[in-house]
Structure 1
């Protein structure tokens, strides 16, 4: 199995974990670290995926934190071979692709990582409260998160 430290070194990871903790003070450092690691796996899987993927609400929190560290995020995207864009929209249950989380977890495994199943909660599951509250739209890039509205 692949290790995320090949994509995100310890000092960079610590900085991103600190951002997650600053935005979510109720989380433990261990949980914030797991969220960041899963976000790195998501970016790696999304970069190589020909099919629609989506982060869980919890993993999206780690992705948001990664993006705020622009140099770190750029280096991560360089390592995975493409820049993975983030195009948020307000959450809307009508646009949700129910299979997207399962597909994403399968792509993470296919990319050589293990999945931290506890962090892949359905959008309505608030058992791990985080600040992230968005869905993602298709911007024509390597990630197609939700189906485009018809019409």
Structure 2
């Protein structure tokens, strides 16, 4: 699949953990844990790492509508709730990745998730297959907002205004 890009992005080794500080990561992971009693710290950390990959992917591939899985969306919401952290993250990536919530539980579009996983791969990382799959009763995650991104509410980045 050819991914249209507004600028070329080389595949380089990429670590989502380097995008925010350990303190910021711990605080955001705790937000995921608070919303999901009984979840392990390890799983909450994986969800947050996938959210960081998602935001980075959105920042690099502005011409492509992307969307997180339902599980990864929980990590994205945790980042957004930490407004200073999220603003710093987006500033470091060069664009502010806006969230456009929409909810329809039937909005599951595997093509959008495939495209998003592919863009993450172009960053030099791999999307966690367990967390980027279809909605499932096996991996129950409470998402703070009623969101299901696809197909009409995919994330499309608008360029930063000049000046």
TM-score, normalised via structure 2 length = 0.80
Residue 67 of structure 1 is aligned with which of 68, 75, 80? 80
Structure 2: distance between partners of 1:3 and 1:98: 25
Structure 1: distance between partners of 2:154 and 2:20: 26
Instruction: Give the SS at the match of 2:110.
Output: coil
Question: Could you tell me how far 1:26 is from its partner in structure 2?
Answer: 2.2
Structure 2: distance between partners of 1:56 and 1:3: 20
Q: Is 1:130 aligned with 2:145?
A: no
Q: How many residues align?
A: 140
Alignment partner, residue 16 of structure 1: 28
Mark the CA change 1:4 to 1:138 in structure 2 (over 3 Å): closer, same or farther: closer
Alignment partner, residue 107 of structure 1: 119
Structure 1: distance between partners of 2:72 and 2:46: 9
* TM-superposition CA deviations, 1:62-119 (whole Å, max 9, x none): 00000000000001111111101111111242x5433001100000110122221111
Instruction: Give the SS at the match of 2:130.
Output: helix
> Cα RMSD over matched residues?
1.7
Structure 1: distance between partners of 2:97 and 2:137: 26
Alignment partner, residue 157 of structure 2: 142
Indicate if the aligned counterparts of 2:108 and 2:134 stay in contact, CA closer than 8 A: no
Structure 1 residue runs without a partner (length 5+): 144-151
Looking at secondary structure, tell me which structure has more helix per residue: 1
Alignment partner, residue 42 of structure 1: 54
Structure 2: distance between partners of 1:26 and 1:106: 31
